[in-house]
Structure 1
Amino acid sequence: MTAATPALPATPRRAYVDGPWGQIHYRRMGSGRPVLLLHQAGMDGRQFDAVHPLLAARGHDVVAIDMPGFGGSDCPPFPPRVEDLATGVLAALDALGLNSVSIIGHHTGSMVGTEVALSGAVAVDRLILNGPMPLTDAERDAFFTEKLPREKQWLPQPGAGHFVAFAQVRERLVAGTLPIERVNSFLLQALGAQAPFWYGHNAGFGYRHEDSLPRLECPTLILTNTGDQIYDHARRAHALRPDMAFVALEGGGVDIVDQQPEAWVAAVAAFLA
């Protein structure tokens, strides 16, 4: 008697829609209330691999978009601002027929989610800012004068030296908390996109979250974790908007979605409910 073939794990379906600068790639899974996932800079919709099925299992139509220039999405012919990335996201939502969504954005994705909510082009019934980043002028200037020039050096090198150097950076950030296979996925997301790596942080640090946060009117959760590199910025965001809900998971790092998927989904689901 032949053994039955094991069922494959459920994974999101992948597809494309047309956007303002070419095609926009997305992953979609589940049914019910639409939830939009927006990734951080240097990654794509695969950032949410660990939580996409968990959210879908809770009765949500979960859509993870690769923002323009990231993942499988075509890149604008210029370094995009957060506002431009939001324009691409809105075009994708329109093509998908989604005029009412809940949004979860991580780091730069939280800024893009903010702009989508402020646009008024779609109804955002819940907004989760996982790592908002209001900056001081000194912090913004330091990035553009010190860090950005270094990021622009992440260019293809003979012998794939840029991959080796970036892998060392990501392994240091993960600090042994995740399998090396997942670190490899982070590496491919960061250096396999159409946009140069520096485009993402250039957009994020150029955005003035300190100005846009006060203008948000939809129910909003500031979600963070104490080990995040920008944990203090999330606290700063809450000081700007003490009326917003605030949840801080313990520990973790920039990869909290992978490090604590169950706790992350529980915090998200509680607010969406």
Structure 2
Amino acid sequence: MTTPLLCGRRTYVNGLWGQVHIREWGEGPPLVLLHQTPWNGIQFHRLAPHLAAAGWRVIAPDTPGYGLSEPSPSPPDIEDYAASLEVTLHALGIERAIIGGHHTGALIASAFAALSPAMVRGLVLDNPPLYSASEREQRQSMPHRAFAPVEGGSHFVDRWAFMRDFADPNLSVENLHLANLAYYLNDIRADHGHSAAYRFDLAALLPLVSAPALLLSSRLDPVSGHAERFQNLHPHWNLVHMGGGSANILEQPEIWSEACLSYLRTLPA
């Protein structure tokens, strides 16, 4: 059985700040999936084959600074990640695509749709946070804990316990193990994705998003209640409520792909 670390067709392209690592599955119109922080494209190893089997070319880049993609020279904003995505897609020869994302990846997808609208056929946003100014301030004030290596390896146990307490309760042992592997592929001293997400004022950019969108809201996800905030700003967006929590991409890929594919079939070619 192939390890998830070797999933997909793996390659590199020259991005905004150096090499960007890409995983791909299938052939057809491009569907770009952006992972949450601090994961990488391996997050989609169970989901992508379902979408590829339905005729899509699924592309999962590692966000710069995560997985096997080179980092930015200074802490980026979400808009910077979106600019990096534009360079990456041009390097792949892609001029227009469906852009999907989960949590931080959904913020990058939204910013990309606002700043590069001609390149976006549609959006698939999995539980994107839509923080108020006070919530962003509170999030930025929270201390960030990095589980740096220590002699004896207890940092692995500490990280496991932290994730088990914090993560979706439905996250299996197998996928919790994978989450920790993904975490330690990164430079944990430079985990800029969360702070970028907490600084990002998505509400200010949302009026610029003209692409049609599917909003996925998982009942147990910590930001599931934010779906109503999106509906107030974009009432014409499709909204699908799902069971489970933030691990649906890993634990319920069939349900996630069914919701996604049903939406994609409604879009013009």
Above 0.5 in TM-score? Answer: yes
Work out whether 1:255 is the aligned partner of 2:251: no
User: Using a 3 Å threshold, how does the CA distance of structure 1 residues 141 and 31 change in structure 2: closer, same or farther?
Assistant: same
Structure 1 distance, partners of 2:187, 2:117, is 27
Question: Superposed, which structure 2 residues align to 1:194-213 within 5 Å?
Answer: 194=187, 196=189, 198-213=191-206
Residue 246 (structure 1) shift: 0.7
Structure 1 position 243 matched with structure 2 position 239: no
1:134 aligns to 2:130 (yes or no): yes
TM-score by length of 1: 0.90
User: For residue 31 of structure 1, what is the aligned residue in structure 2?
Assistant: 27
Native 8 Å contact 1:74 1:194 kept in 2 = no
**Residues 218-261 of structure 1: CA distance to partner in whole angstroms, max 9, x if unpaired?**
111111111101111222222221121111102x1221111211
Report what 1:3 is aligned to: none
Checking the alignment, whether the CA contact within 8 Å between 2:117 and 2:209 is kept in structure 1 is no
**In structure 2, what residue type is equivalent to 1:25?**
H
Matched residue of 1:196: which SS? Answer: helix
Is the alpha carbon distance of 1:121 and 1:234 closer, same or farther for their aligned partners in structure 2, counting shifts above 3 Å? closer
Query: Could you say if the C-alpha distance between residues 97 and 227 of structure 1 is closer, same or farther in structure 2, counting changes exceeding 3 Å?
Result: same
Question: How far apart are the structure 1 equivalents of 2:188 and 2:18?
Answer: 13
Equivalent in the alignment of 2:115: 119
Q: Any conservation in 1 of the 2:117–2:210 contact (CA below 8 Å)?
A: no
Is residue 74 from structure 1 mapped to residue 67 from structure 2 by the alignment?
no
Q: TM-score, normalised by structure 2?
A: 0.91
- Residues 33 and 58, structure 2, Cα contact 8 Å, conserved in 1: yes
Question: How many Å separate the matches in 2 of 1:66 and 1:165?
Answer: 25
Q: Which moved more, 1:121-130 or 1:64-73?
A: 121-130
Matched, 1:100 2:96: yes
The offset of 1:195, in angstroms, is 5.6
Tell me how many residue pairs correspond in the alignment: 263
SS at match of 1:69: coil
- Conserved 8 A contact 2:16-2:88: no
Change (3 A) 1:165 1:118: same
CA distance in 1: counterparts of 2:107 and 2:2, whole angstroms: 38
Shift of 1:121: 6.7
Q: Which has the higher Rg, Structure 1 or Structure 2?
A: 1
* Aligned positions of 1:49-60 closer than 5 A: 49-60=45-56
Q: Deviations over 1:67-121 (max 9, x none)?
A: 1001000011211111111122111101100001001111111111112212227
Residue 210 (structure 2) aligns with: 217
CA 1:138–1:119 in structure 2 vs 1: closer, same or farther (change >3 Å)?
Answer: closer
Identity %: 33
Say if 1:105 and 1:130, in contact at 8 Å, map to a contact too: yes
Determine the C-alpha separation between the residues in 1 that align with 2:217 and 2:61: 21
What's the CA shift for 1:53?
A: 0.5
Q: Give the secondary-structure state (helix, strand or coil) at the position aligned to 2:206.
A: helix
State how far apart, in whole Å, the 2-side matches of 1:16 and 1:165 are: 33
3-state SS of the aligned residue for 2:217?
Answer: strand
Q: CA deviation at 1:158?
A: 3.2
Distance 1:8 1:208 in 2: 38
C-alpha distance after superposition, 1:176-210 (max 9, x if no partner): x3432221110121232136364111011111111
Aligned: 1:270 with 2:262:
yes
Which has the larger displacement, 79-88 or 160-169?
A: 160-169
Distance 1:125 1:233 in 2: 24
| Runs of 5+ unmatched residues, structure 2 | none
* C-alpha contact (below 8 Å) 2:97/2:121 kept by paired residues: yes
Match of residue 228, structure 1, among 203, 213, 221? 221
Give the match's secondary structure for 2:163.
helix
CA distance in 2, matches of 1:165, 1:33: 42
Instruction: Look up the equivalent residue of 2:194 and give its one-letter code.
Output: H
* 1:254 alignment partner AA: S
- The range that moved more, 36-45 or 196-205, is 196-205
Aligned-partner SS, 1:246 = strand
2:144 counterpart residue number: 150
How large is the RMSD of aligned CA atoms in angstroms?
2.1
* Pairing 1:12–2:8 present: yes
Cα deviations by residue, 1:101-142 (Å, 9 ceiling, x for unpaired): 001111111111112212227521111111122111221111
Q: Structure 1 unaligned runs (5+)?
A: 1-5
